[in-house]
Amino acid sequence: MCGDEHRYDEIIGLPRPVSKKHKPMTMTERAAQFSPFAALTGYDAAVSETARLTDSRKERDEDMISALNERMRILSEWEYKYPEITVEYFVPDERKFGGAYVTVSGNFKWLDEYERMLVMQDGRRIPIDDIFRLEGEIFDGKQGIADADKK
């Protein structure tokens, strides 16, 4: 180590070399050389996807199925009269097991019994087998079918 302390004495006072081919870098360009490097691209997305929670499908008991069937029968009498209803149904997740329960409100249009879909006036198609809850004044007996003819 002896003698190393004066090793650069002859060049320490010289001006910094300037390239004749390249223009000087801006501070931003120099800083970019030291920006973090993501060696595992997609890792953060995979961790986020794994951490995302989904609900499991709730099982409907016989009483619930019977009540839903009765409400479907009532809805079939109201086809194209556009009553306001609220539907809670299960939407399976596209990437992992489970899904989410979605609640939508709107005007009922008709039942597509062939494809087993409840069709709303806005074009939304809800699978009948995924419906968990159906609500609306038409089920409460507050409106009669004769009232619907007036609409």
Q: Please tell me the predicted confidence (pLDDT) of residue 3.
A: 61
Q: pLDDT grade, residue 87 (50/70/90)? A: very high
**47 or 143, greater pLDDT:** 47
Token duo for residue 77: 């009498």
- Segment 10-52, tens digit of pLDDT: 888 888 888 889 888 898 888 888 877 767 777 877 777 777 7
Q: pLDDT grade, residue 145 (50/70/90)? A: very low
127: helix, coil or strand? strand
Q: In whole angstroms, what is the distance from residue 151 CA to residue 135 CA? A: 19
Query: For 65-79, what is the mean pLDDT?
Result: 92
- Does residue 135 come out as left (phi exceeding 0), alpha (psi in the -120 to 50 range) or beta? beta
Question: What beta strand segments (E) does the chain contain?
Answer: 84-92, 99-112, 117-120, 125-127, 131-135
CA angle 105, 99, 48 (to 5 degrees): 120
Q: Which CATH class is domain 62-150?
A: mainly beta
Q: Tell me the one-letter amino acid at 97.
A: F
Nearest to 112 by CA among 65, 75, 67: 75
